[in-house]
Amino acid sequence: MSGSVLIAAGGTGGHISPGVALAEVLAEKISNFGFEAVYLHSLVRNKDNPDLLNPPCTVLWHNVPQLGGLKTIIYPFLFLFPFIKTILLFHKLKVRAVIGMGGYSSLPSILYAILFRKQLYLCEQNCVPGKITRIFAKFSKKIAFSFPLTEEYSISGKTIGNPIRKRVIPETLNIRQNENLHEGKKNTVNVLVLGGSQGARQLNQMILKTMENPEIASKYKFRLLTGTSLYEETKNKSDGNAEIISYANDMKPNYEWANIVVARSGAGVLAECLVFGLPMILIPYPYAADNHQKENANYIESQGAAVSIHSTSDDPTRLVQILLGWKDHSEILREMGHTSLSLSNVNAAYQTVSYFFSDKV
């Protein structure tokens, strides 16, 4: 097959990161999959996204407006002009296949594939499929899932795992962080707290309150990635016992440092924690679309790699209870770490691309 393949990855980081991971594979082995070139299609507002600052292929920028609010009535008119530009550009670049990573920003690419009869493939990151997947599944040739879908959804596809960027993948797959924890020793347990790129005030406040417990403070060391917008606020409220970081472009050292991760339950964070064999305490974002973070967390918990806290407040009671329960039982962390690693798929990016284009390999 000649022509190019395009990856529509322009929404949030949860759509961009796995899209970039697929682009890495395609850029490296493009001829093996029967194409001449690979492109990423992303929103202009994502130009400062760390994954797109040094991309593995050319990024095509667009500015399709978000659907919703007062713009709903006039949305078709706002959408039309950038969509026409997209059509002309894709024709020029000979786009023959489109991979949609989800989110409204993938709509121009997906519509192009449908209208001009190009091959369409979809990647679904969450246990609850997004609107793009639900609406356009019948038009796609193949769909790859990061995690099994919840029972209420019946969409044909293959569960492979969330594609992970090369720079995040550990050098060796093991659970060395928790193998060195032993009962009866004064081991310090490192807790990495991740609120996402925008941060999470709830998580930050919950951790600061948790650290007020003297037993917790004596056993656990916390590192908070607060998000840039919440850094000063969290730093000012901290008593100095926690390591406060606004944002990290390179997450690998943080994962290698950690014994436990406290985080939201977006698919990207889950996939990265799994490949590092990390036990998780998951606090799903309660207002996520279709409550997909809750279902993601429930799945990981059901497999034994995490414990979930479903709360909209920063009350630390349940978190304190969990950490105190683990304080003298490092075997729990080791077992959860083994389970976490067993759920991972470090080769998800290559396997996803191979699944989509297996007839061309």
Strands (E), 15-55: 37-43
- Count of structural domains, the chain: 2
Q: What is the pLDDT of residues 274-286, one digit of tens each?
A: 999 999 999 999 8
The pLDDT assigned to 361 comes to: 41
pLDDT at 240 over 90: no
Q: Residue 356: which CATH number?
A: 3.40.50.2000
**197 is an annotated ligand-binding site residue:** yes
Q: Residue 62's closest CA among 96, 38, 87, 37?
A: 87
Give the domain range for residue 132: 4-166+346-360
Please tell me the distance from the alpha carbon of residue 219 to that of residue 361, in angstroms, as a whole number: 52
User: Do 331 and 196 lie in a common domain?
Assistant: yes
Quick check: 136 and 122 in contact, CB under 8 A? yes
User: Do 40 and 133 lie in a common domain?
Assistant: yes
The pLDDT assigned to 177 comes to: 63
Q: What is the pLDDT of residues 153-175, one digit of tens each?
A: 999 999 999 999 999 998 876 65
The pair of structure tokens assigned to 72 is 């709903």
**13 is an annotated ligand-binding site residue:** yes
User: Do 199 and 336 lie in a common domain?
Assistant: yes
Cα distances (angstroms) measured from residue 206 to each of 213, 283, 312: 12, 11, 11
The pair of structure tokens assigned to 289 is 């679309």
**12 is an annotated ligand-binding site residue:** yes
**8, 13, 15, 19 alpha-carbon torsion, rounded to 10°:** 60
User: Do 202 and 333 lie in a common domain?
Assistant: yes
pLDDT at 80 over 70: yes
User: Do 161 and 15 lie in a common domain?
Assistant: yes
Residue 229 or 357, more confident = 357
